[in-house]
Structure 1
Amino acid sequence: MLVALGDLVEDVVVWVDGPVRHATDNPARVTRTRGGSAANVAVLARAQVPTRFLGRVGDDALGHALVAGLASAGVDARVQTAGRTGSIVVLVDDTGERTMFPDRAASAELADVPTDWLDGATVLHAPAYCFAAEPFAGTAVALLREARSRGALTSIDAASVDLLQTIGAARAHALLADLAPDLLFANAAEAAVLALTPADLAGTTLVVKDGAGPVRVAPAGGTPFTVEVPPVDGVRDTTGAGDAFAAGCLAALLAGGASPADPVALAAAVRAGTALAATVLRQPGATLPAPTSTGAH
């Protein structure tokens, strides 16, 4: 089972029709959808492997609706409910690039998680947002260590340049060295902030995305290689593409029972990740295209 630890929030996705004009109206399309990197991974991987989400939402209508949405997608949701559910405003320009305004609210307050929430976990995946502040940071560290002690694989996504700069490279290095995840996902900008080399990550496989450029993979103890990314036409929204990539990679590795250090399995997993990421690039937020209805009505 793939267990994803992190945020479950509402994404308010704003697609603007052109350059934003200050202090006046800007025509836009606004969509409300599920957000939170870990929740996205749990939902997007669910078609391939059993998944569970661990997190916290507010004790409010929005939080209850988001949890119900996970359940309806087939995700085993283990959540605490207290306070106010978080939201993220995602401003998407006409190139598909996004600017985010997060208010994590209750998501950042996860604490005192029962260890039986990890029962059955084959891998525990944690976006670096988990480490942004206490008490969640300490909770995440404890759960990752517990998962490792049970023989589960661990996976971390670097998540955000701003987050890494706020945490600081030295602290991030120390944290990654201490946790020694089996897999570390990052995009090129995040990898540049971390300035990590394979020598810094003994036992960790590093997977670095670079938009439409090749994915760079440094297997733990192995020879680095690249995987080409097929072109995607009509990109409208990059929100959630990284989550879809991680979901596809992890699901492929788990479904095949492969080691995250096996270069052949890794290459296949990266291709699965890029294929899943491509499906969300034309949608608002980390959502898959609606199925096309066929047959008589």
Structure 2
Amino acid sequence: MLGVLGDLVEDIVVWVDGPLRHGTDTSAKVFRRRGGSAANVASFAAGQCPVRFLGCVGDDPAGDGLVAELAGHGVDVRVTRKGRTGSIVVLIDQAGERTMLPDRGAATLLDTVPDTWLDGLTHLHVPAYSFDGEPVGTAAVDALRRARRAGCTTSLDASSTGMLGQFGRERFLALATELAPTLLFANREESAFLGLLADGCPGPERARLAATTVVTKSGAEATVVDAPGQAPFTVPVPPVGEVRDLTGAGDAFAAGFLAGYLADGDLRAAAGRGHACAAKVLASPGATCGEG
């Protein structure tokens, strides 16, 4: 079973019809969706493999709705309830690119992961957002260590250059070195920022994660898979029709990749499965498939 630890929040997705006009109105469409990188991965993976979500949401109606929505996808939802459910305002420009304004709320309040939440897992995936904030940061690191001791494979997602800059580049690299995840997902900017991969070549910090397979996404360009003991190889991204909203595409890719990897360990096939999963979310608002 795949376990995913991290944020479950409400996304307020705003499709802006043109450039923002400061000090006055700008026409837009507004959608409310379940969000949070970890919850997105769990939701997209649920139709492909057994999956469990681990996190914290507010003890409020918004939290009730988010838990029910995620469980409705077939996810085994394990959450503590405290504080106020978080929200993220996601501004989408006409090219589909995102600008995010996060208020993670209760997602940062996870302070312990019971042993029963980890029982039965074969893999634990944690977006790096979970390291940014306390007590969730300590709880996430502890859960990853315990999962490894229990024989699980693990993975991290670099999440965003903004988060990495705030958390600290060296601090993240030191933590990733200590945790030695089986897989690390990043986009091209994140891999370059961390010094792990640039222009398809291993970067100056790559040796620190010698036991980790680094998977670098690059939008419509080929994904680069850099596995220990192998030369990096690329997996092309099939053409996609409409691209209106990139929200959740990276999470969908991780979900497809992990489902494929856990099925047979084939990295190339897993990347292809990740691309297919990501393609399903690009025309709909937020981390959804075909929901207008």
Deviations 1:215-272 (A, max 9, x none): 111012222111111121210000000000000000111123x2xxxxxx11100010
Residue matched to 2:98: 98
Q: Matched residues in 1 for 2:224 and 2:42: separation?
A: 24
Residue matched to 1:274: 275
* Paired residue type of 2:281: V
Does structure 2 conserve the Cα–Cα contact (< 8 Å) formed by 1:42 and 1:247? yes
Q: Matched residues in 1 for 2:112 and 2:29: separation?
A: 40
TM-align CA RMSD: 1.1
Residue matched to 1:165: 165
Q: Matched residues in 1 for 2:26 and 2:210: separation?
A: 49
Does structure 2 conserve the Cα–Cα contact (< 8 Å) formed by 1:110 and 1:135? yes
TM-score (norm 2): 0.95
Q: Matched residues in 2 for 1:212 and 1:234: separation?
A: 12
Q: Matched residues in 2 for 1:176 and 1:113: separation?
A: 20
Stretch deviating more after TM superposition (155-164 or 191-200): 191-200
Give how far 1:290 is off: 5.0
Q: Matched residues in 2 for 1:182 and 1:289: separation?
A: 32
* Paired residue type of 1:144: L
Q: Matched residues in 2 for 1:238 and 1:290: separation?
A: 14
Does structure 2 conserve the Cα–Cα contact (< 8 Å) formed by 1:48 and 1:255? no
Residue matched to 2:284: 283
Alignment of 1:130-149 (within 5 A): 130-149=130-149
Q: Secondary structure at the match of 2:280?
A: helix
Residue matched to 2:73: 73
Q: Matched residues in 2 for 1:215 and 1:112: separation?
A: 35
Residue matched to 1:294: none
Residue matched to 1:200: 208
* Paired residue type of 1:159: S
Q: Secondary structure at the match of 2:102?
A: strand
Residue matched to 2:261: 253
Q: Which runs of 5+ in 1 are unaligned?
A: 259-264, 292-297
Q: Secondary structure at the match of 1:239?
A: coil
1:59 partnered with 2:59: yes
Give how far 1:75 is off: 0.4
Of residues 220, 233, 240, the one that matches 1:232 is 240
Once superposed, which parts of structure 1, at least 4 consecutive aligned residues long, lie more than 4 Å away? none
Does structure 2 conserve the Cα–Cα contact (< 8 Å) formed by 1:98 and 1:238? yes
Q: Which runs of 5+ in 2 are unaligned?
A: 197-202
Residue matched to 1:89: 89
Q: Matched residues in 2 for 1:290 and 1:252: separation?
A: 25
Q: Matched residues in 1 for 2:151 and 2:224: separation?
A: 27
Of residues 252, 259, 262, the one that matches 1:244 is 252
What is the aligned length? 284
* Paired residue type of 1:32: R
Q: Matched residues in 1 for 2:263 and 2:291: separation?
A: 24
Q: Secondary structure at the match of 1:280?
A: coil
Identity among equivalent positions (%) equals: 59
Residue matched to 2:37: 37
Q: Matched residues in 2 for 1:199 and 1:217: separation?
A: 15
Q: Matched residues in 2 for 1:59 and 1:255: separation?
A: 36
Q: Matched residues in 1 for 2:41 and 2:268: separation?
A: 19
* Paired residue type of 2:193: V
Deviations 1:5-64 (A, max 9, x none): 000000000001111111111111100000000000001011110000000000000001
